[in-house]
Amino acid sequence: MSDERIASGARSRAAVPADAPAAVPATVVAKGAWSPGTDTRHHVLGAGAHLPVMTLRESAIAGNIAVMQAFVEQHGLVFAPHMKTHMAPALAARQIEAGAWGVTVASVQQAMVAWEHGIRHVLLANEVLDPAGLAWLASRSPDDGADVLCYVDSLAGVEAASVAATAVGGSLPMLVEIGFIGGRTGVRGAETALEVGRAAAAAPGLVLRGVSGYEGGLPDVDTARAYVTQVLAIAASFRSSGLMATDRSILSMGGSAYFDAVADALADRPTDLDVVLRSGAYLTHDDGTYEHKTPFHRIPEQGSLRAAIEVWGRVTSTPEPGLALAAVGKRDAPFDEGLPVVRRHVPGGGADAPQADVATGSLTVTRMDDQHAYLSVTDGVEITPGDVVVFGISHPCTAFDKWRTIHVIDDADVVVDSIATWF
């Protein structure tokens, strides 16, 4: 194209062929959508693979599911793992097949995804005030096997839910969320909890099923245990006040940082109280925040988790001594709770190239742009354009949402499955 044409500001679709399709299938162009076929199994760095790519280690996923299911069964808990972490129905199905009651979600849209993929037991762990969302929730029928639980923490929330439920001739099972000063949502204090509970119990179209809380934002395990004990006391006051609509009531807690404290604090709970645990990040674990927070450091005899997520990216530039740039950026890996960490280095970047574990501090991500990771390279480390770097991540919940397709690999780095996310 001539400089004159550029200068003229021509915008007449010159770069778009006349026979270009109006729409391109997502499987062709979506990030991570490489699909080499089903007849043979391919190495993640094999021919046709486009980097960057996010992978899940199958052995870690399977192990983490088994460890967490064993924990909830040992403590007599009901498990509704949080689907917001991955929003991958294929992974939710594996969790349910392993023994989970259903899933937890964070929004009506997420509940719709679960429902459309055949999941009928859903705990929506957020207040919903949107009339259309409440109407959809209230329209889920027990005749279809539905048990869809919702949160409320205000009289305004009770009123909105009741209006929506009666308008569609449905009902909404409700949990009163109990918060704490300085925390997130949830009523503050037992008196307000009883006020909201009484209103929910009396409101047309609502069915009061119990209480809920979230301990993950608390600073330490002792504070978390004390908070769970307070939630239990409020649940008991609901029962003694005759507010519960069913013979069995629910107390739900969530988070992946203190589930041991939840189990301990509720060990002597009444036999007619079902404790529903909502932990989600355990499924993939990570190499950052949850590796630091996991309760299994306190209870190693009950299991351990392995990081399953890796992001593979190619080194594109080594412009000055001590600096390398990899094509993995904020659009590819999370950065909100810590930067990615380098796990392995693949000189040459091929499927047959040996992968070298990376000593702590020898290759370090110092910052990220939209499409780049800046690597600090210590003396003696040889890294060149074309090499591949394998990153571990911190915070699974903001890793999955960056990918529409994620490949599952075995311990030989061979792709054995591909899963879709629905964010």
Phi, psi of 16 (to 5 degrees): -110, 115
- Model-level pTM? 0.92
Q: Where do the CATH 3.20.20.10 domains begin and end in the chain?
A: 120-279
CA distances from 95 to 64, 91, 263, 330, 384 (A): 10, 6, 20, 29, 41
CATH class of 120-279: alpha beta
| Residue type present at position 59 | S
Going by the DSSP 8-state scheme, the letter that residue 191 receives in this structure is: H
| Residue type present at position 67 | V
Predicted confidence at residue 35, as pLDDT, reads: 58
Phi, psi of 190 (to 5 degrees): -65, -35
Each residue's pLDDT expressed in tens, for the chain with a length of 423 residues:
444 444 444 444 445 455 555 554 555 567 776 655 554 578 999 977 889 999 999 999 999 999 999 999 999 999 999 999 999 999 999 999 999 999 999 999 999 999 999 999 999 999 999 999 999 999 998 887 889 999 999 999 999 999 999 999 999 999 999 999 999 999 999 999 999 999 999 999 999 999 999 999 999 999 999 999 999 999 999 999 999 989 999 999 989 999 999 999 999 999 999 999 999 999 999 999 999 999 999 999 999 999 999 999 999 999 999 999 999 999 999 999 999 999 999 999 999 898 989 988 899 999 999 999 999 999 889 999 999 999 999 999 999 999 999 999 999 999 999 999 999
- Tens-place pLDDT, residues 179-191: 999 999 999 999 9
Residue 228, classed as helix, strand or coil, is helix
Look at residues 160, 174, 87, 182 and name the one whose alpha carbon lies nearest to residue 399: 87
- Taking each helix axis from N to C terminus, what angle separates 89-97 and 58-74, rounded to the nearest 10 degrees? 40
Q: Where do the CATH 2.40.37.20 domains begin and end in the chain?
A: 305-420
Alpha helical stretches, state H, 131-258? 131-138, 155-168, 190-202, 221-240
For residues 281 and 85, what is the distance between their CA atoms, to the nearest angstrom?
6
Interacting residues of 20 by C-beta distance below 8 A, sequence separation 6+: none
Residue 52: asked if its preceding bond is cis (omega within 30°), the reply is yes
For residues 186 and 256, what is the distance between their CA atoms, to the nearest angstrom?
19
- Tens-place pLDDT, residues 361-377: 899 999 999 999 999 99
Q: Beta 273-277 vs 309-320: how paired, if at all?
A: unpaired
Where does 305-420 sit in CATH, by number? 2.40.37.20
Predicted confidence at residue 41, as pLDDT, reads: 74
